[in-house]
């Protein structure tokens, strides 16, 4: 990036804090200005973690991300938030995005619509109590949700474009290889923060990709950078 003539420029990006109280024309919006060093070949990706928080490994992951100055997105399970509120508060305080991964991790498209929506709402209510009012983006368990349920969710929904299979492989080198081979600009990486191997693979991936010019941002920041305005009740897999 130095010898090949690529020039660096500092650009100020305005990230709107969208959907603070819901979706619609009357929603309140705030903005924050973030400076990002950008080159003509900069790639932006979002590292996401499901099924936490883990009282064994999430803190170690947060320590590693903090040391590297990297922000991620955590889709948390409500019944685990109940006994790990301080960890979730730390996530938000350190600049990570916290999202709704349901309260009980049921496969939503296999239960009654009312039950599925109640489960998501229960987790949302808990996050509002623990972190304050806001719109918490949703990742449905297993990435599955019915069209009827989808249309009734008052937040953007996010799946993934890079599946590391970390929960299955539980092998640092194999998970790292998938990330390095499959991750490109605008991708959303799926991982889980309740495995030691996943935490190590994630931090090694951050080191390797950051050295190549990749910038890790939250899902919400990724969409803002790509000038994509997410809609409530819409399901996204990447920001491209």
Domains of the chain: 43-236 (3.20.20.370)
CA pair distance 175, 200, nearest whole angstrom = 10
Q: What is the mean pLDDT of residues 95-107?
A: 98
pLDDT in tens, 105-159: 999 999 999 999 999 999 999 999 999 999 999 999 999 999 999 999 999 999 9
Query: What is the model's pLDDT at position 234?
Result: 97
Query: What is the model's pLDDT at position 154?
Result: 95
Catalytic residue list contains 96: no
Active site residue: 96, 101, 192, 193, which one? 192
pLDDT in tens, 32-58: 333 444 444 789 999 999 999 999 999
Residues 215 and 69 sit within 8 Å (Cβ to Cβ): no
Query: What is the model's pLDDT at position 134?
Result: 95
pLDDT in tens, 9-35: 333 333 333 333 345 433 343 333 334
Catalytic residue list contains 192: yes
E-only strand ranges, the chain: 9-17, 30-38, 43-52, 73-76, 97-100, 157-158, 162-163, 188-192, 214-217, 235-236
Q: What is the pTM of this model?
A: 0.85
* Residue with token string 């953007």: 156
Active site residue: 50, 51, 119, 187, which one? 50
């Amino acid at each position: 990036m130095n010898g090949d003539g690529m020039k660096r420029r500092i650009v100020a990006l305005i990230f709107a804090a969208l959907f603070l109280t819901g979706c619609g024309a009357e929603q309140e919006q705030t903005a924050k200005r973030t400076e990002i060093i950008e080159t003509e070949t900069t790639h932006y990706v979002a590292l996401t973690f499901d099924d936490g928080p883990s009282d064994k490994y999430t803190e170690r992951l947060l320590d590693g991300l903090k040391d590297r100055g990297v922000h991620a997105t955590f889709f948390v399970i409500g019944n685990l938030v109940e006994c790990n509120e301080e960890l979730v508060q730390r996530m938000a305080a350190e600049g990570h995005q916290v999202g709704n991964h349901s309260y009980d991790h049921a496969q939503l498209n296999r239960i009654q619509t009312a039950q599925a929506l109640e489960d998501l709402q229960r987790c949302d209510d808990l996050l509002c109590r623990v972190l304050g009012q806001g719109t918490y983006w949703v990742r449905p368990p297993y990435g599955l949700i019915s069209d009827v349920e989808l249309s009734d969710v008052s937040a953007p929904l996010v799946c993934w474009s890079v599946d590391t299979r970390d929960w299955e492989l539980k092998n640092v080198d194999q998970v790292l290889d998938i990330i390095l081979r499959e991750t490109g600009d605008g991708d959303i990486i799926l991982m889980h923060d309740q495995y030691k191997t996943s935490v190590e693979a994630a931090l090694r991936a951050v080191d390797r990709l950051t050295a190549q010019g990749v910038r890790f941002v939250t899902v919400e920041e990724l969409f803002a950078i790509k000038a994509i305005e997410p809609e409530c009740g819409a399901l996204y897999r990447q920001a491209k």
